[in-house]
Amino acid sequence: MELTLTTATGKASSKNVDVSDDVFAREFNEPLIHQVVTAYLAGGRAGTKAQKNRSTVSGGGAKPWAQKGTGRARAGTSRSPIWRSGGKTFAAQPKDWTQKVNRKMYRAGVKSILSELVRQERLVVVDKFVSADGKTKDMIAQLGKLGLKNVLIVTETMDENIYLSARNIPHVDVVDVEGVNPVSLVGFDHILVTVDALKKIEEKLA
C-alpha cells in the first residue's frame, strides 16, 4: 500500500511512500491491542513495595509479662500487630507484575495499532522534520502549519534539537524508533513520523 507524504505546510505532497500491507494494513484486533498495552504498562510497575510483618520486625523475642497474675491482657510478643511498633497485618511484599507476551503477539499488536492509525488518518508522514536551532517557538510554528497539537514525533534517531524544542510543549513528545511502544502510539491524537523512521519501524516489525 501507499501512504501520502505531507509537506511542511501541512498539504498533501504529490509523492507517496510504499509500505508493507502486513504492517500498515492489518485488521483491527482490539483484544490483542488491549493485552499488549496492559502488559506493557504492567511491566513498568516497580513492585518493590514492602512492609514488615510480625516475624520480620526487630525485637519481641521475650514474652512481655507472665501469662497470669498481672491483671493485664495476656501477650506473647511486643511485636504483635496491635502493639505500637508491631508488625503489619497482611504486610505488602515485593511483587512481579510482568505479564508474558511473546514476540509474535507483541509485533502483531503494534502492527494492528499502526494499521488503525492509518485508517483513522492519525499517522502523518513527512519527508524530514528538522529543528535546526532547538527553539520552542519554531517547533510550535511547524506543528501549527501541520495542524497538530497532541502529537508524538518519531524520528529515526534521537535529534537533540528536536527534543529540546519540543520538551516544554504540552501534549507533545519526541522519541526515536527504539522508543516507540504501544502505549505511546495509542496515547496521542496523531503520530508524526519521518520516512526514514517509518522504514525502520517497518523493518523492525517485518
Predicted local distance difference test score (pLDDT) of residue 69: 95
Q: Quick one: pLDDT band at residue 91, thresholds 50, 70, 90? A: very high
- Same-domain pairing of 56 and 135: no
For residue 169, the enclosing domain spans: 2-46+98-205
- Same-domain pairing of 163 and 79: no
Q: The cell 525502520 sits on which residue?
A: 200
- Same-domain pairing of 67 and 17: no
Judged against a pLDDT cut of 80, whether residue 131 lies above it is answered with: no
Dihedral-angle region of residue 20 (phi above 0 means left; psi in -120 to 50 means alpha; beta otherwise): beta
- Same-domain pairing of 70 and 112: no
- Same-domain pairing of 10 and 54: no
pLDDT tens-digit map of 32-46: 999 999 999 999 999
Predicted local distance difference test score (pLDDT) of residue 14: 80
- Same-domain pairing of 57 and 120: no
- Same-domain pairing of 83 and 114: no
Q: In 3D, which of 120, 183, 123 has the Cα closest to residue 151? A: 123
pLDDT tens-digit map of 166-186: 999 999 999 999 999 999 999
